[in-house]
Amino acid sequence: MADVSDRYPWPDRGRWVRAVMVMTLDGRIVGPDGRSGSISGPADRDVLLAIRRFADAVVIGASTFRAERYRPMTGRADTRDLRAAEGQGPAPRLVIVSASLDLPWEEPAFHESALTPLVVTVAGHPPDLLDQAGGHADVLVAGGPAVDAAWLVAELEARGLRRIACEGGHVLLESFARAGVVDEWNLTLSPLAAETTFRLEDEATQDGFLFTRYLRARP
């Protein structure tokens, strides 16, 4: 997919929220190891990098951060000048939604990212736990027992983070969908079912529906 960046442009107008996910033929969004990387592939990773290239924020849930071991958001050297010309930071800001604040603070993503990660949590934590989190990230506290997706998106926009990529997990993606804040879905269909690989035989679209035929891949 040589023109992958051209296939995933960000609009020039205001706030834009993308839901980004990969899913197997049998509906799984993670592999047996609990990670999406094991059901992904080089082409899908190219898509993810193309989306992040000019994103302002990458939003994930705490369980996704723990499972996927997100690397630091440092940005690409060949796009930093382009981002700066658009008034963007050198890389997307990592935004982690965590109700419990139970996060692996030693992870390099907290200490080596170009921008300080933002951790979004709920009200009611003791001050010492908030202080611990504040030693590794900027902390944003929701006004209730749950983080409302519409509120979160508005808070990010107020911080100049208009191009928002929500990468999951499924609970966070569902909350964004239910809140009606998603402008664009970027879904990659992985040719796997259980541990079997299939190949795409045919595809068609009608009325917004995508119809596919996959056949078992033979050696």
| 4-216: in CATH 3.40.430.10 | yes
pLDDT digits (tens, 9 = 90+) for 120-156: 999 999 999 999 999 999 999 998 899 999 999 999 9
Q: Residues of the chain whose pLDDT is less than 70?
A: 1-2
Nearest 5 degrees, angle CA 66-CA 181-CA 70?
Answer: 20
| pLDDT, tens digit, 9 for 90 and up, residues 12-36 | 889 999 999 999 999 999 999 999 9
pTM above 0.85, yes or no: yes
* Domain range annotation of the chain: 4-216
Q: How far apart are CA 148 and CA 16, in angstroms?
A: 17
pLDDT of 185: 98
| DSSP-H helix ranges across 34-190 | 42-53, 62-68, 80-85, 108-112, 127-134, 149-158, 170-179
Q: How many CA atoms lie within 13 A of 175 on its CB side?
A: 18
